[in-house]
Amino acid sequence: MPRYEIRLNGTSRTIESADPDQPLLYALRGLGLTATKFGCGLGQCGACNVLVDGKAMPSCRATVAETAGKSITTLEGLGTPAAPHPLQAAFIAAQVPQCGYCTSGMIVSAAALLRETPKPSEADIRAALDGNLCRCGTHVRVVRAVLAASGQTGQAGQGG
């Protein structure tokens, strides 16, 4: 069976898959990393987003073969309950999660944004998270949380 080496949440890991086109999402969930959710399966909802070499990417569309040799970060790799990533802490403080299904994809996408743009505007945040769908309608809280995690204060939804 073919083996694919990746750096997963800071640790070298091997994924064995008979199918090089196996979605990365399935491999991650098979490794017990369940924060990454299956949403649409088409790369259009953002629920399965992970960081691939620092860029947000839908793991339902990325294959194990194309991610071989790359660095993959899931929500579990950003922080822990004892030491949450600033975005995780900000999402909790802003009471963003309702059903929580989209939350890990939102946080991962926001982490990619903050890596590139440490002090994003509200418009930057909205553009970066445009591919992350939330049926609960917590987008204003999401923007507030990302602003807070970036060390900015402001009222999301006030003209952006």
Q: Which two tokens stand for residue 107?
A: 């946080």
Given a cut of 60, whether residue 160 has pLDDT beyond it is no
Q: What percentage of the chain reaches a pLDDT higher than 70?
A: 96
Predicted pLDDT of residue 8: 98
Q: From edge to edge, which strands make up the β-sheet containing 11-16?
A: 11-16, 3-8, 71-73, 49-52, 55-58
Query: Is the backbone of residue 43 left (phi > 0), alpha (psi -120 to 50) or beta?
Result: left
d(CA 50, CA 36): 7
Residue closest to 9 by CA, chosen among 38, 43, 32, 41: 32
Domains of the chain (ranges plus CATH)? 3-77 (3.10.20.30), 86-149 (1.10.150.120)
CA-atom Rg of the chain in angstroms: 16
| Cβ neighbours of 154 (radius 10 Å) | 13
In tens, the pLDDT along 132-146 reads: 999 888 899 999 999
Q: 16 versus 158: which is more confidently predicted? A: 16
The reported pTM is 0.92
In tens, the pLDDT along 35-70 reads: 999 999 999 999 999 999 999 999 999 999 999 999
